[in-house]
Every structure is written in C-alpha cells, then in structure tokens.
Structure 1
Amino acid sequence: MNILASRETNGRRPCRTSRVSEPVPHGATEAEPLPLEDVAREVSLSRRQIERLFAEYLKTTPWQHCLTLRLQKAKQLLEMTNMPVIGVAVACGYVSSSHFSKSFKDHFQILPSAARMAATSPSSRSAA
C-alpha cells in the first residue's frame, strides 16, 4: 500500500501525493536512495510532512524504513544467491563488511554468514 497516496483528507485540502507511486527517478537505488528532501520535492510535501506520514502509518522514520528495506534485500540475496557476504554488503550500500554484519545482526539477531547457512541447510529446504 502506498502510504502517502492513500492518505485521507478529513475535510482538508487533498494531499498532492499522486506522484509517490511513480517509478523511482533515475539514479536512485536500494543502495543509494534519494535524499528525503528530493523525495519531498517530487511529491510536493515538506520533509516534516513525510516524516509524520511515516510515523503515522509505518511507525518508523524514513531512514529506518530505508535501512530495513536494505537489510531485507541483503537477507534475500544471502538466501537466494551465492554472492559473497562482502558482495551482498556492497550491493546493499555498505562500504564495509563489518558494518554490514553488525547492522544485519542488530536487525535479524543472526550474522549474515549464519543466515546463509541456515537458508542452505537441508532442514530449511524440507520445511519450505
């Protein structure tokens, strides 16, 4: 669901967010998302309005949401590819494998290498 585009107006002037669901502008990637100011300008909202919408609908900040998406993508790459951990880290925007490993462990409570082993173990395949 697009949180910005689905906002109710409650008698106020409609929120101009129809562009939120458009494709991501050239140059933005999961590893290097657009700065929040650029997103705000694209959807004709202020940075603070976007922060409030994230807090209201997702119970998080835009930065934390972006971090979560990057880590979910990293987990998917670890589980579904044979990319080295450092390759996954770089693909998801990290410049050091140690920072990536710490962020991954803080989020998933497991090291990236252990997540890969768990995903490739025979018992995990039979459970799927």
Structure 2
Amino acid sequence: MPETPQTVGLLLIPGFALMSYASVVEPLRAANLLAGKELYRWVHVSPGPAVVPASCGATVPCIKVEEAGPLDFLFVCAGGNPTAFRDRATLQWLRQLAARGVRIGGVSGGPVILAKAGIMDGYHMTVHWEHAPAVAESYPNILLTRSIFIVDRNRLSCAGGTAPLDMMHALIAEAHGPELARRVSDWFMHTDIRPAQSAQRASLAERFGIHDARLTAALELMESHPGEPLMRGETARRIGLSTRQLDRLFSEKLKSSYASHYRHIRLERARDLLRQSAVPLTEIALGCGFSSASHFGRAYRQAFGVTPASERRS
C-alpha cells in the first residue's frame, strides 16, 4: 500500500462528460472519507481555459498544465468530438508524462486524445462505443477492444458513463485492498461490480427486443461485416437457414428486410466515422460497403436528410 497520498491529475477537455468525470473523482473522495485519512489528492488541469465547461454546462476551475506538479496518475476526461482536439502543448505534455512512467488513463473520449498523443501504440485500449469506429480507422497500431475498461501496464482506458466506477473499484482494491474498495462501491450503491471485459452496450436481443437466437446470430454477422457486406444467402447459410426463412425472420421480428436493415447498420457506422474522424469521404463510403462516394451520398441523404459533407461540417 502507498505510504503517502497518491496525487491524481484530471485533465478536463472542454465539453467533457460530467458523469464520467464524477465516476472517477467521487470514489477517490469516498476512499479518503471511509479510510479516515488522505489516501488520494487530486488536481484539475486544463489545456487552456481557467474554467472548463462540461457537456451539460457545469464548470470546473482548473490550473494550467505547467502548474500540475508531480503526478502518480493522470486521467484525461473528454466527451463530444475528441478527434477535434489539437492542442500541441497538451499532447506534448502527455508524451512527457508517459516518458516519466506516470500511469495515464483516458475516460469516455479521453482515450482518443491519448491515441492522438501517440502513447497508445502497442497497448490494449478501449473507448466509448461511439468513438470506436473512428479509432479503429485512424490508429491501426492500437489493440482496440470493446470492454468497459482496460488496464495494460501503465495505461488505463475506460469507456465512460458509469464504467469508471468499476475501474476505480479495481484501482482502489489494488492500492488499498478489496475491503475498502467494496465499502466505496457500497457507498455509491454500486453493488454489482462489473469485470473489465464486460460489454459496453446491451445485447442485440435487448436492443432490438428479440429472443430468436437465429436472428441474433444474423445481426451479429451483419454488424461484424460492414465493409464487405455478406450476401443474404451467405448469412442464411452460416446460421443454418434458407433465404426464405431469413427473410421471414426479418419481416416478422424487425418489420424490415435484410437489405434495408443492413444498409441502416452501415450508414450508422458511416455517421460515426463522419462525426468522429477525419477519414476521407470516399474511404468511408468504401469502408462501409458502398460502391462509390455518389452511391453513399444518395443513401446517406435519404436516411438522414443531409449529405455526408454537411454532416461532417456540422
């Protein structure tokens, strides 16, 4: 157990997700309170403004990067569109901390900023599912997973939302024992502690309200092949159905056709890439299974009412 309080830096990117941030810092406060002594100290750090707004409009006073002092941990808290963050001084500071061996983590959109700093190559990393397609396209050297959090050596990444409660439970248990970690989780009525590899989203059965294993298997195949869409007959063959049986499943359970639902999956992925990455439109079109940029543009406008270029500008 650490003999002196650990100092935790919280780098708040304007528009950071307030729930994710609170799920990091509140367990530290509770650990101090329940232990009856100071186990953790924390400082709020800003890439620029003295007061940083959260996505909901709440604000947190911060110190400048150069005033942060020695840190044991640093967590980057971000939301919105972290791919738009380009502050060179802050990215250089993250690289310096990494070179010193500081344990660095990212929460919600924060892992994207760690990737932009170039300190996640060769590491296992997770990120909020909304940002995952853009990260996979832009940073092929990162070992991306869809877990709720990952601790890989001195790098930590967390999908955000309430998942930091689970990550902080693991970190408090590591430093001060499982009994204190359990008391902290009980303090927040967080009694169902999830392991790191837990899924970020509800299952397909829950998301679509379906309970047919064959249809679930078909949807899993479709979601895992957005760039090279599987032909209807191939999907039917893989799950042991005829094409007529597959069509009937989609019609009865989802009130849609196989082709229409597959197009929706691919367009949703394209929208995430447009919003969260700088990947060229033509590459997005081909990567989401469209034959050309013009074909993609027509389908996108029909589905969402705007062109891909307008989506990216907005």
TM over 0.5: yes
Measure, in 1, the Cα distance between the counterparts of 2:289 and 2:274.
Answer: 15
SS across alignment from 1:17: helix
Shift of 1:111: 0.5
Distance 2:263 2:215 in 1: 24
In the alignment, does 2:279 pair up with 1:74? no
- Partner of residue 259, structure 2: 63
Residues 101 and 111 in structure 1, CA contact (< 8 A), matched pair in contact too: yes
- What do the CA deviations read for 1:47-74 (whole angstroms, capped 9, x no partner)? 1111111111111100111111111111
Deviation at 1:17, TM superposition (A): 3.3
Is the 8 Å Cα contact of residues 300 and 306 (structure 2) preserved in structure 1?
yes
2:297 is equivalent to residue 114 of structure 1: no
The structure-2 alpha-carbon separation of the partners of 1:101 and 1:18, relative to structure 1 and needing over 3 Å to count, comes to: closer
Q: Is the 8 A contact 1:104 1:110 kept in 2?
A: yes
Q: Report the CA distance between 1:31 and its aligned residue.
A: 1.8
Kept after mapping to 2: 8 A contact 1:79/1:116: yes
**Which has the larger helix fraction?**
1
Structure 1 runs of 4+ aligned residues shifted over 4 Å read none
Computing the radius of gyration from Cα coordinates, the structure with the larger value is 2
> Which has more strand, going by share of residues?
2
Residues paired across the two proteins, number: 106
What is the TM-score when the length of structure 1 is the normalising length? 0.71
Q: 1:51 to 1:90 in 2, by over 3 A?
A: same
**TM (normalized to structure 2)?**
0.31
| Percent of aligned positions that are identical | 30
Deviation (angstroms), 1:43 = 1.7
Distance 1:86-1:18 versus aligned 2 partners, 3 A rule: closer
What is the one-letter code of the residue matched to 1:83? Answer: V
- Gap regions ≥5 residues in structure 1: 8-15, 119-128
What is the match of residue 211 of structure 2? 6
Root-mean-square deviation (CA, aligned residues, Å) is: 2.6
Which residue identity does 1:60 align to in structure 2?
S
Q: Alpha-carbon deviation of 1:84?
A: 1.4
Report the Cα distance in structure 1 between the residues aligned to 2:274 and 2:291, rounded to whole angstroms.
17
Residue in structure 2 matched with residue 95 of structure 1 by the alignment: 291
Greater RCO structure (CA 8 Å; 6+ sep): 1
The 3 A distance-change label for structure 1 pair 43 and 19 is farther
Give 5+ residue unaligned stretches, structure 2: 1-203
